[in-house]
């Protein structure tokens, strides 16, 4: 029998490599270059904030996966467009071809690339707007990057925003001119999205599969959302995968204030403690409170639903949140587990029930791999 779950997981593990593809953009604190996985998370969050459809968000989760093979292509540099298109198509064929769901994923990517639908146009809009504000909302923008933004607005790919999205263009030009933005809904959304950039600097106990460094919570959130998109067929019929993806995009934003609390730290006593829950709730109120009031309430309710783990959507989301770190460890030789001296019985207790509630088939598959990993030498 074909191991379809294993094929999906192989695709998701290959996707982990996007976390090591660096971009021309830098984080807002200028501490390092942004990578394409955390960019994909941030752009998907932009789409969520600005009212995009589930389909547009799905496109953004996978739109840059081809960069695993071809790298980032900075907008201010000249490119051989035809050659780049061929290389990206070959990359899409290879990478999505690892998944049993290759046809659907390639179709989504192709639709995005061609701007072939209103959803794709919206997704492109988010992808093209994000780098502009990534530069301009930095406390001390790099002048060379500001010049690139100005050129992009005047005659680059963002120039079309003058008629496509004039409000965002007015805000961008005002910022370039050093003007303060009015305290309106657009400004509040941009303020929230700028605050979210800090999640890229919150590091987790789990490492990348290549063991080059620890994973950060922004790229973890992107990877989880991609898990949901890829493993949607394993959810019950009552699960709305679009809502699951939205939960996973925002579920760790509270870590901007409280940091990551490793599941296996202090024998598991700190994770989920009453004090941590209080701290996370306060962080959620502060961070989501940056949004316009109605949207703040919606995001807060979605986060609380995820935390409560009582609905079909939240049960599936939480199961994936427990599953992904285990798979990262299995494919990286268990480096994260070794650091915390994690045993199989601890994983069975702290991970197993959540994954099994989400999908019994997924837990059976995962447990069989855990047995092999933890088997006596």
Q: For 153-211, write each residue's pLDDT tens digit.
A: 998 899 999 999 999 999 999 999 999 999 999 999 999 999 999 999 999 999 999 99
Domain 4-183, CATH among 3.30.1180.10, 3.30.450.40, 1.10.3210.10, 3.30.70.250: 1.10.3210.10
Here the tokens at position 161 are 């925003």
Q: CA-to-CA distance for 148 and 264, rounded, in angstroms?
A: 45
Could you tell me the CA-to-CA distances from 96 to 68, 107, 114, 311 in Å, in that order? Answer: 12, 10, 17, 31
Residue 242, pLDDT > 70, answer yes
Q: Tokens at residue 143, please?
A: 């002048």
Please tell me the predicted confidence (pLDDT) of residue 79: 72
What is the DSSP annotation of 281-295? HHHHHHHHTTS-HHH
Q: Which residue has the tokens 């969520």?
A: 48
Lowest mean pLDDT among 18-27, 155-164, 230-239, 266-275: 266-275
| 18 contact partners, CB below 8 Å, separation of at least 6 | 35, 36, 37, 40, 64, 65, 67, 68, 219
Phi, psi of 259 (to 5 degrees): 75, 175
Question: What pLDDT is stored for residue 338 in this prediction?
Answer: 86
pLDDT tens, position by position, 350-377: 999 999 999 999 999 999 999 999 998 7
Cα angle at 303 between 301 and 307, to 5 degrees?
115
Specify whether the CB–CB gap between 192 and 287 falls below 8 A: yes
Higher pLDDT, 276 or 316: 316
C-beta of residue 307 within 8 angstroms of C-beta of residue 254:
no
Query: Could you tell me the CA-to-CA distances from 333 to 79, 125, 206, 216 in Å, in that order?
Result: 39, 40, 11, 19
Q: Which residues contact 89 (CB under 8 A, 6 or more apart)?
A: none
Angle at 64 between CA 61 and CA 67, to 5 degrees: 145
Q: For tokens 């959302």, what's the residue?
A: 225
pLDDT tens across 101-134, in order? Answer: 999 999 999 999 999 899 999 999 999 999 999 9
Q: Can you give the pLDDT at residue 182?
A: 94
Query: Is-contact 187 130, C-beta < 8 A?
Result: no
Beta bridge partners of 203: 216
CB 209 within 8 A of CB 332: yes
Please give the distance of CA 346 from its chain centroid, rounded to a whole number: 27
**Residue 328 · residue 215 · CB < 8 Å:** yes
Which residues of the chain does CATH 1.10.3210.10 include? 4-183, 202-374
Query: What residues have CB less than 8 Å from 109, skipping those under 6 apart?
Result: 59, 62, 63, 65, 66, 92, 96
Band of pLDDT at residue 273, cut at 50, 70 and 90 = confident
Task: Determine the average pLDDT of the residues in 224-231.
Answer: 98
8 Å CB contact between 215 and 208: yes
Pick the more confident residue, 136 or 272: 136
Strand pairing category for 22-26 and 33-35? antiparallel
The 10s digit of each residue's pLDDT in 297-322 is 999 999 999 999 999 999 999 999 99
The tokens for 237 are 């019929």
51: left (phi over 0), alpha (psi -120 to 50) or beta: left
Question: Measured in Å, how far apart are the chain's first and last C-alpha atoms?
Answer: 28
Closest among 54, 324, 47 to 196, alpha carbons compared: 47
Structure tokens at 264: 């296996």
User: Each residue of 238-266: b (16+ CB within 10 Å) or e?
Assistant: ebebbbbbbbbbbbbbbbbebebbbbbee
Give yes or no for residue 290 having a pLDDT over 80.
yes
Domain 202-374: assigned CATH number:
1.10.3210.10
3-state secondary structure of 232: helix
- The whole-angstrom separation of Cα 344 and Cα 351 is 10
This prediction's pTM: 0.95
**Nearest CA among 374, 362, 296 for reference residue 330:** 374
């Amino acid at each position: 029998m074909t191991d379809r779950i294993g094929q999906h997981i192989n695709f998701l593990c290959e996707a982990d490599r996007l976390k090591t593809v660096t971009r021309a953009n830098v984080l807002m604190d200028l501490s390092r270059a942004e990578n394409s996985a955390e960019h994909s998370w941030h752009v998907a969050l932009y789409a969520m904030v600005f009212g995009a459809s589930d389909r547009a968000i799905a496109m953004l989760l996978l739109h840059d996966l081809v960069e695993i093979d071809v790298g980032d292509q900075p907008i201010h540099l000249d490119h051989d467009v035809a050659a780049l298109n061929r290389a990206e198509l070959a990359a899409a064929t290879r990478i999505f071809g690892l998944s049993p769901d290759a046809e659907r994923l390639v179709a989504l990517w192709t639709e995005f690339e061609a701007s072939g639908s209103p959803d794709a146009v919206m997704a492109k809009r988010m992808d093209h707007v994000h780098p502009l504000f990534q530069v301009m909302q930095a406390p001390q923008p790099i002048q060379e990057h500001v010049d690139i933004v100005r050129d992009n607005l005047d005659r680059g790919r963002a120039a079309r925003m003058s008629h496509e999205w004039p409000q965002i263009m007015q805000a961008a030009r005002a910022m370039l001119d050093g003007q303060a933005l009015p305290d309106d809904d657009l400004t509040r959304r941009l303020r929230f999205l700028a605050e979210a950039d800090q999640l890229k600097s919150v590091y987790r106990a789990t490492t990348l599969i290549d063991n080059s460094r620890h994973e950060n919570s922004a790229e973890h959130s992107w990877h989880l959302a991609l898990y949901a998109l890829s493993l949607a067929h394993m959810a019950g019929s009552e699960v709305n995968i679009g809502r699951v993806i939205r939960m996973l995009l925002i579920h760790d934003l509270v870590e901007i204030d409280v940091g990551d609390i490793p599941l296996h730290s202090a024998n598991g006593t700190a994770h989920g403690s009453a004090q941590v829950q209080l701290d996370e709730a306060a962080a959620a109120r502060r961070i989501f409170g940056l949004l316009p009031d109605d949207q703040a309430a919606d995001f807060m309710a979605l986060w609380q639903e995820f935390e409560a783990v009582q609905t079909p959507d939240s049960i599936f989301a939480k199961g994936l949140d427990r599953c992904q770190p285990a798979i990262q460890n299995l494919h990286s030789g268990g480096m994260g587990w070794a650091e915390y001296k994690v045993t199989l019985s601890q994983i069975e207790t702290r991970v197993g029930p959540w994954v099994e509630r989400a999908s019994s088939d997924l837990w059976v598959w995962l447990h069989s791999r855990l047995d092999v990993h933890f088997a006596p030498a």
